Structure 1
Amino acid sequence: MKRCGVWWLCAVLALAGCGGKAAAPQAAEPKLSREGGLVSVAADSPLRSSLVVEAVQTQALSLTIDAPGVIEAMPERVVKITPPLVGRIVKLQHGLGDAVYAGELLVTLDSAELAAAYSDNAKAQALLQQARREFARQESLMQDNIPARKEFEAAQLALAAAENDARASSERLAQLGVAVQAQSHREYGLRSPIAGRVVELSGAQGGYWNDVTAPLMTVADLSSVWVSASIAEKDIAQMFVGQDAHIKLNAYGEQVFSGRVKYIGDLLDPETRTVKVRVLVDNRQGQFKPGMFARATFAGQSHQAILVPASALVQSGLYTRVFVEHAPFQFESRMVTIGATVSSTVGEQVEILDGLQAGERVVTHNGVMLND
């Protein structure tokens, strides 16, 4: 019985040696020592061959700001043509898409209201002449002490009233933009106040226009338009008038257009926390249509900054740290304040706002192995 127990033990050991898996080799220890905030790497530590240490220098940094936008017509170059009186549309001189110059005739109306204005003016002028004659007669009689003082004063008041009525009727014609001595007292010509194109037309020839508050036609000068970009509150400090902008439109894929910042809004939208920045864009080719969506990219003002590779940063709880070389293979863990992240030919780099000085050497790769 004792011999069988020995045999069974030998068999188990042999089976374990043949069929059992060998234990995986353990990773080599980095062999670090810590003292007074410094981390030292032992001479025989394999970590020495994997750490990369580089000196940091100041570089010119120009931040890129990207923002959504929309194409808008310049308000002062869009005019809604509204007839100041009602009437029948006798003739449309221009239709949709037609180019017009400032002062060009757009629409001719046959208006009884215009005829009434001319009639009122004629009556007022006739009454004024009569009042002047009566006043002159009373003034002459007054000098000869013939009439009573009362009749002279009545003539004087009648003259003043007639002058006011005549002036009001003349100013009404002037407001309508018609000449007092026009050949026709019924035809009213509606003219364009600006040069541009007819972009909206609401009336038809032969129709009657009876709403003096509704635009019959809209003329717009779209040779230049706004790209209205929504700039986030955090980026406002990087914006300035005259700043170059690159514009991409959804309609034209990757084609890039150039513009320049002309106006930075004075009011912040409390809901989106953005400010409207308007970029002036040349649109003589007519590619920009008001209402189109766009993407605007701005280059911020250049400034000197300390940049480190993103791989140099080590997250330690709520703080960001880098390992600064204190002596060969001896490093100090230092908390830093980071700024913008930029892409370059050597990869992503991060701006250091505080915690590093130019010329200091930091661990740029595998610094996480030094962390607690």
Structure 2
Amino acid sequence: MLKRIGTYTLLTALGLLLGYLVFSKNDTQGKTTENLVAEKSGVWTCSMHPQVDGKENGKCPLCAMDLVFVKNEMADMSMNQFKMSESALALSNIQTVRVGSPEHHEATIHLSGLIATNRETDAIQTTLFDGRIDKLYPDYVGKKIVKGQEIGFIYSPELYLAQDKLITSASYRGTHEKLFNAARNTLGLWKMTDAQIDAVLESGKPMMNFPLYADVTGTVTEVLASEGKYYSQGDPLFKISDLRTVWAVLDSYESQLELLEVGQELEIRPKGLPNRAIKTKIDFIEPVMDKEKRTVSVRAVLDNRSGKLRPGTFIEATVSAKLPEDVIRIPKSAVLWTGKRSVVYKQPMDGKPVFEMVEVELGHMANGEYEVLDGLKNGDIVVAEGTFTVDAAAQLNGKKSMMSLEHVEGKNLEKTMDHPGHQNKDMPMTIGLEGDFAPFMDGYIDLKDALVATDANQAKDKAKALLVLFTNDNSILKNSHGEGFTHIKTHLQNIGRAKDITEQRYEFKYLSESLIALLPAISNSTNTLYVQHCDCADNFKGGSWVSYQENILNPYFGDAMLTCGRVEQVLAK
């Protein structure tokens, strides 16, 4: 009996020991797995005290309540994605849109260009022989000329000798008829009329000043000669054109060409006649593209019998076109440009404030929307308003942003981040949070105003004054670093060294781009800031700038196109 009890006791002890070992191992393994999940996917925290950050299940050290597991949303984010807080979204007024095919398959295309002379009626009045212009009646632009009209007098030693030869040959005309006829025909080749030749023979004296006659009818568009100077046969005296018809020459971008064709209706509005709409049709589309402007000229012939359409006048035109079906389109406000690259911010997690920059390939623009050729798909959500603010947040989070695509000698090179998910040492610092940024903005506005006034010397001085702020001990920019500020200083230096206003305006465009990218981080601006844009700047590549006033004063053209542009964004103080 005692032996049997001992056996049972031993078996029970062995069972307990085996159970302890098995369940202890499983419990340890469970905790390890749980810890790994917590580390990668979330944390254990207290409902009453969310500041508690635990790595495993247990009790709250403050109130002894059971901890609850909260999933970490950062675990589902990729390397280039970042999250913004709900409060930041609300303050920034960020708006998103789901992209897809357009509801309407008709669009209005906007073109711009110039009134030009009708080249089919253009002509150049030339001299028929060597000589000195003693009198030229059409000596100013706008003079109207009729074919056959006397336009001046020319003294030609060669013509004088030819007349004298004719007078001499007339004395032996009866015996040398052929010599006389040859001398007479020579004067005919110089367009002396029979009446003029007969007058010379009758008087027996050569004409000293020979009259010039117009070859064509039209209006003088350019005077090339002046009185008292000698000109050779064939030299131009003035240009002339029949201005009863003129050309509307419009620039079309590559992306717009597929929507344009000969015969489409155009509505043209000259800048000088804003209330007059001229309806016509596309007459010709040039087969060759301008290599510098990357545009193709689209032409229409306009009736100008009223004389109100003057060559050189800026014009804007609209044309209705059918859009291709099954295309993806996004609002123009969603796109950020970095030189030749175009990027948007996508919201990859529907309903969550997570964003990611993606590069897109764009097609034509119509109705304020771009066609997306690559980079997005139907159903994607992109930032439509507040794009600059999201870009600033990307910079501060050390993620890919517009400012991490560097502009170097016309090429765009993507900067490599130091470590995925970590702050790049070269990223722009937060500005305006601990100091007064107003002096720099005031200086920038002064520089902009100098370009509006087309004053290259003043623009140079303003740029140099701004550079001083980067070394002034009282300026918050003294210790500034990062890509954004490097670009700003570089473009200011280039403006100060530029040879002319054209170079200054080119550098000002990229200076403005760098500044605009930093604006969302400026929290203490004393003025409302207006981000404005002109599509015609930089050979129709477009250019933006910042202003304190809502009204447009264009720094890229000055008086030539003072009010050309629009307000793209308002940053309230």
Structure-1-length-normalised TM-score: 0.51
- 1:1-372 aligned at under 5 Å gives the runs 60-67=105-112, 69-85=113-129, 86-87=131-132, 89=134, 92=137, 97-120=142-165, 172-180=186-194, 182=196, 183-184=199-200, 185-186=206-207, 187-201=209-223, 207-212=227-232, 214-253=235-274, 255-300=276-321, 302=322, 305=325, 343=367
Contact 1:58 1:306 in 2 (8 A): no
Count of residues paired in the alignment: 263
Q: Distance in 1 between matches of 2:282 and 2:294?
A: 20
The letter for the 1-side match of 2:214 is S
Shift of 1:119: 3.6
Q: Could you say what secondary structure the match of 1:287 adopts?
A: coil
Q: Could you say what secondary structure the match of 1:272 adopts?
A: coil
Q: Distance in 1 between matches of 2:155 and 2:363?
A: 69
The letter for the 2-side match of 1:277 is V
Contact 2:115 2:248 in 1 (8 A): yes
Shift of 1:364: 12
| Structure 1 residues 178 and 190, CA gap change in structure 2 (3 angstroms) | same
Shift of 1:223: 1.6
| Structure 1 residues 276 and 123, CA gap change in structure 2 (3 angstroms) | farther
Shift of 1:202: 6.1
Contact 1:309 1:364 in 2 (8 A): no
| Structure 1 residues 227 and 341, CA gap change in structure 2 (3 angstroms) | closer
Contact 2:269 2:315 in 1 (8 A): yes
Q: Give ranges in structure 1 of 5+ residues lacking alignment.
A: 1-55, 133-161, 312-316, 322-336, 357-361, 367-372
Q: Distance in 2 between matches of 1:217 and 1:230?
A: 28
Map Cα deviations across residues 209-236 of structure 1 (whole Å, 9 max, x no partner).
Answer: 4113543344321121122222111222
Shift of 1:306: 5.5
| Structure 1 residues 121 and 76, CA gap change in structure 2 (3 angstroms) | farther
Q: Does 1 or 2 have the higher relative contact order (CA < 8 Å, sep 6+)?
A: 1
| Structure 1 residues 237 and 126, CA gap change in structure 2 (3 angstroms) | farther
Q: Distance in 1 between matches of 2:284 and 2:302?
A: 12
Q: Distance in 1 between matches of 2:223 and 2:367?
A: 50
Q: Distance in 2 between matches of 1:197 and 1:179?
A: 25
Q: Distance in 2 between matches of 1:278 and 1:303?
A: 22
Contact 2:102 2:329 in 1 (8 A): no
Shift of 1:62: 4.3
| Structure 1 residues 338 and 233, CA gap change in structure 2 (3 angstroms) | closer
| Structure 1 residues 226 and 57, CA gap change in structure 2 (3 angstroms) | closer
Q: Distance in 2 between matches of 1:88 and 1:252?
A: 40
Shift of 1:66: 2.5
The letter for the 2-side match of 1:70 is L
Q: Distance in 2 between matches of 1:110 and 1:179?
A: 17
Shift of 1:290: 2.1
Shift of 1:128: 9.5
Shift of 1:107: 1.7
Q: Could you say what secondary structure the match of 1:237 adopts?
A: helix
The letter for the 1-side match of 2:320 is A
Q: Distance in 2 between matches of 1:202 and 1:273?
A: 32
Q: Could you say what secondary structure the match of 2:287 adopts?
A: strand
Question: In structure 1, what is the equivalent of residue 477 of structure 2?
Answer: none
Q: Distance in 2 between matches of 1:243 and 1:349?
A: 21
Question: In structure 2, what is the equivalent of residue 137 of structure 1?
Answer: none
Map Cα deviations across residues 323-367 of structure 1 (whole Å, 9 max, x no partner).
Answer: xxxxxxxxxxxxxx99766549xxx798999x99xxxxx99999x
Larger gyration radius, structure 1 or structure 2: 1
Higher share of residues assigned helix: 2
Map Cα deviations across residues 51-110 of structure 1 (whole Å, 9 max, x no partner).
Answer: xxxxx998552452434x122212332333222231453574887544332222222334
Contact 1:94 1:106 in 2 (8 A): no
Q: Could you say what secondary structure the match of 2:231 adopts?
A: coil
Q: Could you say what secondary structure the match of 2:283 adopts?
A: strand
Question: In structure 2, what is the equivalent of residue 29 of structure 1?
Answer: none
Map Cα deviations across residues 15-59 of structure 1 (whole Å, 9 max, x no partner).
Answer: xxxxxxxxxxxxxxxxxxxxxxxxxxxxxxxxxxxxxxxxx9985
Q: Distance in 2 between matches of 1:266 and 1:211?
A: 38
Q: Give ranges in structure 2 of 5+ residues lacking alignment.
A: 1-100, 201-205, 332-342, 348-360, 383-573
The letter for the 1-side match of 2:230 is N
The letter for the 2-side match of 1:247 is I
The letter for the 1-side match of 2:146 is Y
Q: Distance in 2 between matches of 1:92 and 1:310?
A: 59
Q: Could you say what secondary structure the match of 1:216 adopts?
A: strand
Q: Distance in 2 between matches of 1:93 and 1:249?
A: 28
Q: Distance in 2 between matches of 1:269 and 1:231?
A: 10
Structure-2-length-normalised TM-score: 0.36
Contact 1:87 1:113 in 2 (8 A): no
| Structure 1 residues 272 and 342, CA gap change in structure 2 (3 angstroms) | closer
| Structure 1 residues 310 and 111, CA gap change in structure 2 (3 angstroms) | closer
